């Protein structure tokens, strides 16, 4: 995979996943917990069932964040400064002023 020339479509989808996954994780957590709780009435089993998919999604979320970090700007290939990055891509590239993640 070429990290220097990432297609805008792939970049956009990864940023979308990065922004959307926390919401999906919240729904998976609550949804899995109550679904299992309805069947088992067990707090322990429900917690376990909720933790498994949420943990997996959280891992995907971390990977997406790292991927965006590694790609940097899809236009000029410049990496984002750590301080402005802070876990989420900036709205615009600090180098070439390209708008990102839309
Ligand atoms: Zn740039």
Strand partners, 99: 92
Strand partners, 92: 99
Could you report the per-residue pLDDT of 27-55, keeping only the tens digit for each? 999 999 999 999 999 999 999 999 999 99
Could you report the per-residue pLDDT of 23-34, keeping only the tens digit for each? 999 999 999 999
CA distances (Å), origin 27, targets 32, 39, 51, 64, 100 = 8, 18, 12, 19, 27
pTM above 0.85, yes or no: no
Cα gap 75→42, rounded to integer Å: 51
Distance from the CA of 54 to the center of ligand 1, in angstroms? 33
Distance from the CA of 21 to the center of ligand 1, in angstroms? 25
Distance from the CA of 58 to the center of ligand 1, in angstroms? 28
């Amino acid at each position: 995979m070429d990290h220097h020339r990432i297609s805008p479509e792939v970049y956009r989808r990864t940023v979308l996943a990065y922004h959307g996954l926390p919401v999906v994780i919240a729904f998976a957590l609550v949804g899995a917990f109550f679904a299992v709780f309805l069947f088992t009435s067990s707090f322990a089993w429900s917690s376990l069932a909720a933790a498994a998919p949420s943990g997996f999604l959280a891992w995907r979320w971390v990977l997406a964040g790292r991927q965006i970090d590694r790609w940097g700007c899809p236009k000029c290939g410049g990496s984002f400064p750590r301080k402005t990055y802070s876990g989420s891509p900036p709205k615009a590239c600090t180098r070439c002023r390209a708008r990102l993640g839309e």
